[in-house]
Amino acid sequence: MTEYKRWTLAKHPSGVPSEDCFALESFTPDAPQDGQVLIRTHYFSLDPGMRGRLSGDSYAAGLKIGDTIESAGIGEIIASKSERFAVGDMVMGGLGWTQALTHPDRGLQKLDPALFDDKVAMTATIGVLGVPGLTAWFGLQDLGQPQAGETLLISSAAGPVGATCGQIGKTLGLSVIGIAGGADKCAYLTDLGFDAVIDYKAEDNLVNAIEAAAPDGVDIYFDNVGGEMLDAAILNMKPKGRIVVSGQVAEYNREKPVGIRQTTRFITHRLRMEGLVVYDYAKQFPKAQAAIAALIRDGKLAYKEDISDGIEHAPRAYATLFVGANFGRRLIKAT
């Protein structure tokens, strides 16, 4: 058996995870037994939402010291003791930060190469067709309950969730406003067709900036950030407005989260706020993935990928997610 590398949890982080929170180990995976496959990982994702599980329980159980860091991945079956998968099959699943792994033949999705082309790359299955895109799809449509003509405000709008959400919103007839950091990201959102863009790094008063972009108020706020930005959005919500909580990237690394301060608005404006874990919609994934792929091929939805070559770069690339350094879905090419 060949020796591979994987990242494991060396210590539970406090604040932004530093490189010494992770350990790069060499290992030889076990040969697959009945009902198992050996997968060589091609790409894996770096997910801000995993941050909570590095320190303790979150939407799923926290990781223990020595556990392989979990994430979505794409890989190739290189040995099989399964009737469901053959050597050479490409699969997607929770592979983690590893170059290879032995995995049960459950919890894996076989990828048909015929579904991918110059418009829809196979890596999209762990990006715009995976958790980020599906979070945007179900969060906006199921929790946001959009109606044509309404105003949608999105934080971290240049990220993979936010950018996808905004473009889906445009197809639904919404007026879309994005909040992003820096001129390049704001220009990107304008190119995607956003109706207005707010550079939060250039604004002294975000409440006023949102009001200027949405003078009649906001119907739906798709929140990826939390903290002070969430409060600024709350102060601009219309009566009966809906707040979709997708992520809280500003809160993940704080010892004392800021939380929500503008709670009175929930009474006076009859606001509704709800979070989601996208895996609750798992049975609906195939239909949504087909719809998103159709939007891409029709030129109505574009996506970016930020790929680093080499498993050794994973911790550093992960840490920079929390300071907005990425531009698009951040992936690691494992081998």
Residues of the chain with pLDDT under 70: 1
Q: Are strands 36-45 and 329-333 parallel, antiparallel or unpaired?
A: antiparallel
Sheet holding 175-180, edge to edge: 196-199, 175-180, 151-154, 218-223, 237-245, 272-275
**Residue 295: what pLDDT?**
97
The predicted model scores a pTM of 0.88
For the chain, the residue count is: 335
Q: What is the pLDDT of residue 1?
A: 64
Contact 334, 99 (CB under 8 A): yes
pLDDT in tens, 283-333: 999 999 999 999 999 999 999 999 999 999 999 999 998 887 777 899 999
Q: Hey, what domains does the chain have and what are their CATH numbers? A: 4-127+303-333 (3.90.180.10), 131-279 (3.40.50.720)
